[in-house]
Structure 1
Amino acid sequence: MSQLEELIAVWLPRQRWFSGKGIPIQQIRVENFHTLASAGPDGPDLHLLVVRSGQRGRSSRYQVLLGSRAPRSLPPDLARAAIGVCPVSGKRQRVIYDAACDGDLTGMLLERFASPGGNGQVRFRTLPGERIRTGAAGRMLTGEQSNTSLVFGEDYVLKTFRRLWPGPNPDLELNCALSGSPYVARPCGWIEADLPGYAAPTTLAMLQTYIPGAMDGWVLATTNVWALLEGTGPERQSAFTEEAALLGRTTAEVHRSLAKALPTDVLSPTAVAELADAMVERLAMASAEVPELADYAHLVMEAYADFSQVDEPLPIQRIHGDYHLGQVIRTGAGGWVLLDFEGEPTVPVRERQRLSSPLRDVAGMLRSFDYAAGYLLVDHPSDPGLEWAARSWARHNREAFCRGYADGGGADPEKHLAVLRAFEFDKAVYEVLYEARNRPNWLRVPLESIATAVSVPPAAR
């Protein structure tokens, strides 16, 4: 292992987007090393690395944007981003650091889009007729993200995909299919690379128009819940119910556009039964790991049994795949905009590209309304009044979203309760595992949702 690889092996597990937390790294290898820009002997230099991490017999690839400078030229404000000191790209001792924190280097990255192309292993692409405005430095967005997003002024946002899978990323694929829709940020370009052993190029990053002044859906929802719990008045709840209905209509419009632009199919009753069997397997695995879930497993199984007996073909298409309030933003005048169509980033791209029922996205958003209400009760576990108000908020907004979805031309959730209920439970089981592994103090949120839901139809909760 080289000195560079040793430093990355220490730094990598501390990153929010590293998916193998808590598991010792047994091997680190830099598979690809590309210098994208250089500013002279002292730097700064911008490097793009593809790093393979081996853990417990499995390996994952990650993209690392690396900056390097002569030790004496590192600005004080970049000290927090430092990874270590080692020789880099034929130069003697250099300070290496996270390039996403360096405005000089992110500005160089944007400039590469102004002259796209190249036939090397890393290529910058833009959509036909797109002229990229340069001159801005990238500002890194904070928050819980599985990738790294850089905002350039009020023009662009560059989303760099950290966990890499071979082939085109669904986020780029679906955004291009929806290009021209008012419900997505317009794609402008992307970065692609050839990974060892794969013929198809892999998407490294996607450049989109930035929508300034928009409000994150999760923040908007939880702020509304807090106002309700503080007794500000029922009119606030009514206002957000209107937003939930609009979001439902918007979601249906996006699903319809995806169905027009990309392939569709139907699942036979036999295939539906096989899908239900897979849900049962996930439930058994989760119940073995989280004993609290086992108390409700038999009731969840009843919902899966109902799903397995659906005797009508189930329409399937390309969907969002990881749909929740954190994946939508509310603009000042244009309504809701959907983000992050890549699906669950820990799942291989080939699986994320499979067709699925759009009701799976609906179920994801309904679970998110429950989360917005439930997570605010984590610090108030013994207040029946607050719990009733929060659950009431979730129920009203779930109902409004379902009505909006049907009004927007989507499948009416009220007429497909067995399907929707199974997808909701499947998502909640996933959440139980996630919280148990990553945020144990949040475990009560999905568990209480399951406990409440086992005897109540989805849209009626």
Structure 2
Amino acid sequence: MTTPVRELRLPSEDDLREFVIAQRWFGSKSREVAHFRVLETIPLTEQPLGIAVLEVEFLPGTHELYQLPIGARPAGEWNEGIICVNEGMAIYDAMSDPETARQLVRLIARDTAIETGQGTAEFRAVGEGAHPLPAEVGVVRPMGAEQSNSSVVLDEKYVLKAYRRLGAGPNPELEILRFLTDLDFPHIAALRGWYGHSGRLIDTTLGIVQDFLGGATDGWDLALADLREDPSRFVARARALGEVTGRLHTALGSDNQDPAFAPEDTSAEALGLLTATVDEEIERVFLDLPDDREDLATIRGRGEEVREKLRLLTQVGSAGRVIRHHGDYHLGQVMHTADGDWVVLDFEGEPARTLIERRRKRSPLRDVAGMLRSFAYAATASELLHGAAAPAGWEDDVRAAYLDGYVEETDQSLLPPGRAAVERLLAVFELEKAVYELRYELDNRPDWVKIPVAGIARLLDPETTEPEA
């Protein structure tokens, strides 16, 4: 169908530039922008209201695409997210307008297709389960602080997430949520619908609608609360989280017929590429370690030792299989529900990677390593943030409980044979994470450098324990 609308009064390039570069979801603030332009508009209502696909061109010639819902109302009638005022009309970022969410849901619930100047916008509901997406929603509210995307809660039952930065091809979150929803996998917020664009300029996912988890607590906040109140309580929770992670990976590796999800054997070349990539990062980070920081003493000058440890760890024989996985797995990506269950969220993968990289099959142990590093962060952050030190041995107990639950619930064909081989390969991925963390903390949070330093030292000497914060 084609939706009739009054033509949107689009902002000028200068107005777009000033507005977009100030937003938290714009991820390239340090790069020199050459041009902003609107590549495509998708009409939504007669308000007028629509979605603009922006191209941001950087010097020397690269570009990024972003989604910017745009609305227009008489100046003075609307005050949020104003981009500019043209001829008495306020032009604004319409993601802040509840009517945007309501109209997107209507279009999705009714399985709508809208012809655009450069292609077709599709709005599709998913499944006919017990809770189909309603065509009308009432209360719309923002979902916490804006990050790389924009999310709103609908009637406290659903979440609409609009992807701000766009990539060519399906978003991995849409693919994985649709796959797991079709399996009735219980440990996710089920997918209810999506919208996207296909055409001459780009095929891309624009957003999704999924269930909202009311009354749930994210794993990071829960771990820190337990460390203040009853540290032993989180050990049992970690075991359950390991079991859920194992079931997740087993589900993601369960379809041998779908090329996008069928497990594949790990090649020697893949391990060699991993080694080379981490090796390069190690060299870069260790060459640049500042000389005047005492908290780096345990690893300063040990770059070659870290690299040798990496080479030994990757001689593991069989490395199991590679599958679609979460890709950015840590305590902030899981929710603990009111009835004591764990639910996994945010299957987009690492935001800094391209969609092609995020859709690539990898060892499921990468997710496990990410969660183990998150436990290390929680153990030290508890004192840094709240003055409640983790008891001696807490991190070891949490790690062991999580791994016990994980190994017990995971399809063993996905893993290296035997617990020892699993832990050797895990050490490779933990080392990769810890070296990345070291560079990040040196650049952004110097007081937290002790966390990756302790992780690297632990991998060099298994008897090393995390230092007191």
Q: TM-score with structure 2 length normalisation?
A: 0.84
* CA distance in 2: counterparts of 1:37 and 1:438, whole angstroms: 43
**Equivalence for 2:7:** none
Equivalent residues in 2 for 1:270-349, closer than 5 Å? 270-288=269-287, 291=290, 295-333=301-339, 335-349=341-355
* CA distance in 2: counterparts of 1:390 and 1:11, whole angstroms: 47
**Equivalence for 2:28:** 20
Do the aligned partners of residues 270 and 108 (structure 1) sit closer, same or farther apart at CA in structure 2, a change above 3 Å counting?
closer
Q: Amino acid of the residue matched to residue 283 of structure 1?
A: I
Q: TM-score with structure 1 length normalisation?
A: 0.86
Q: Amino acid of the residue matched to residue 56 of structure 2?
A: S
User: In the alignment, is residue 418 of structure 1 matched against residue 431 of structure 2?
Assistant: no
CA contact (8 A) 1:68 1:95 kept: yes
**Equivalence for 2:41:** 33
Q: Amino acid of the residue matched to residue 99 of structure 2?
A: D
Do the aligned partners of residues 409 and 314 (structure 1) sit closer, same or farther apart at CA in structure 2, a change above 3 Å counting?
closer
**Equivalence for 2:151:** 149
**Equivalence for 2:83:** 83
* CA distance in 1: counterparts of 2:176 and 2:300, whole angstroms: 37
CA contact (8 A) 1:328 1:336 kept: yes
Q: Amino acid of the residue matched to residue 149 of structure 1?
A: S
* CA distance in 1: counterparts of 2:199 and 2:289, whole angstroms: 38
Please, which of 93, 96, 99 is the counterpart of residue 101 of structure 1? 96
Deviations 1:209-262 (A, max 9, x none): 11211111111112222x1xxxx5xxx122111000000000000100010032
Please, which of 103, 107, 111 is the counterpart of residue 112 of structure 1? 107
CA contact (8 A) 2:11 2:83 kept: no
CA contact (8 A) 2:72 2:89 kept: yes
* CA distance in 2: counterparts of 1:284 and 1:206, whole angstroms: 40
Do the aligned partners of residues 284 and 64 (structure 1) sit closer, same or farther apart at CA in structure 2, a change above 3 Å counting?
farther
Structure 2, unpaired ranges of 5+: 1-9, 256-260, 291-295
* CA distance in 1: counterparts of 2:162 and 2:140, whole angstroms: 12
User: What RMSD in Å do the two structures reach over aligned CA positions?
Assistant: 2.6
Deviations 1:34-54 (A, max 9, x none): 221233xxxxx3221111222
Do the aligned partners of residues 394 and 112 (structure 1) sit closer, same or farther apart at CA in structure 2, a change above 3 Å counting?
same
| SS in structure 2 at match of 1:178 | helix
User: In the alignment, is residue 46 of structure 1 matched against residue 41 of structure 2?
Assistant: no
Identity of aligned pairs, percent? 33
CA shift at 1:296, angstroms? 4.2
Equivalent residues in 2 for 1:24-423, closer than 5 Å? 24-39=32-47, 45-57=48-60, 58-74=62-78, 78-79=79-80, 81-86=81-86, 92-120=87-115, 121-129=120-128, 131-133=132-134, 134-143=136-145, 145-179=147-181, 180-194=184-198, 196-198=200-202, 201-225=203-227, 227=228, 232=229, 236-261=230-255, 262-288=261-287, 291=290, 295-333=301-339, 335-378=341-384, 389=390, 392-409=393-410, 411=415, 414-423=420-429
Do the aligned partners of residues 143 and 28 (structure 1) sit closer, same or farther apart at CA in structure 2, a change above 3 Å counting?
same
Q: Amino acid of the residue matched to residue 219 of structure 1?
A: D
Q: Which stretch of structure 1 is more off in the superposition, 204-213 or 242-251?
A: 204-213
* CA distance in 1: counterparts of 2:463 and 2:193, whole angstroms: 44
* CA distance in 2: counterparts of 1:458 and 1:103, whole angstroms: 53
Do the aligned partners of residues 195 and 432 (structure 1) sit closer, same or farther apart at CA in structure 2, a change above 3 Å counting?
farther
Q: Amino acid of the residue matched to residue 375 of structure 2?
A: F
Q: Amino acid of the residue matched to residue 96 of structure 1?
A: I
Do the aligned partners of residues 408 and 102 (structure 1) sit closer, same or farther apart at CA in structure 2, a change above 3 Å counting?
same
* CA distance in 1: counterparts of 2:311 and 2:430, whole angstroms: 14
Do the aligned partners of residues 28 and 435 (structure 1) sit closer, same or farther apart at CA in structure 2, a change above 3 Å counting?
farther
CA shift at 1:443, angstroms? 3.8
Which structure's residues are more often helix, by fraction? 1
Do the aligned partners of residues 5 and 405 (structure 1) sit closer, same or farther apart at CA in structure 2, a change above 3 Å counting?
same
Structure 1, unpaired ranges of 5+: 40-44, 87-91
